[in-house]
């Protein structure tokens, strides 16, 4: 059975991000920075 992925609002930057994945805009996940984004 297939379900569409759920999108949530990132509490850090406010952009839309998939659930259970680090935000592609700011690199935060559950209040911690887990990705270092180049050029930001």
Asked if residue 25 lies in contact with residue 18, where contact means CB atoms within 8 angstroms, the answer is no
Digitized pLDDT (tens) for each residue of the chain, 40 residues in all: 787 778 999 999 999 998 899 999 999 999 999 999 887 5
Which pLDDT belongs to residue 4?
A: 75
Which pLDDT belongs to residue 29?
A: 93
Report the SS3 class of residue 8.
strand
Question: How are beta strands 28-29 and 32-33 bridged, if at all?
Answer: antiparallel
Which pLDDT belongs to residue 32?
A: 93
Which pLDDT belongs to residue 40?
A: 56
């Amino acid at each position: 059975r297939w379900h569409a992925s759920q999108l949530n609002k990132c509490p850090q930057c406010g952009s839309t991000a998939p659930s259970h994945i680090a935000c592609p805009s700011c690199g935060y996940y559950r209040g911690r920075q887990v990705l270092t984004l180049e050029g930001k």
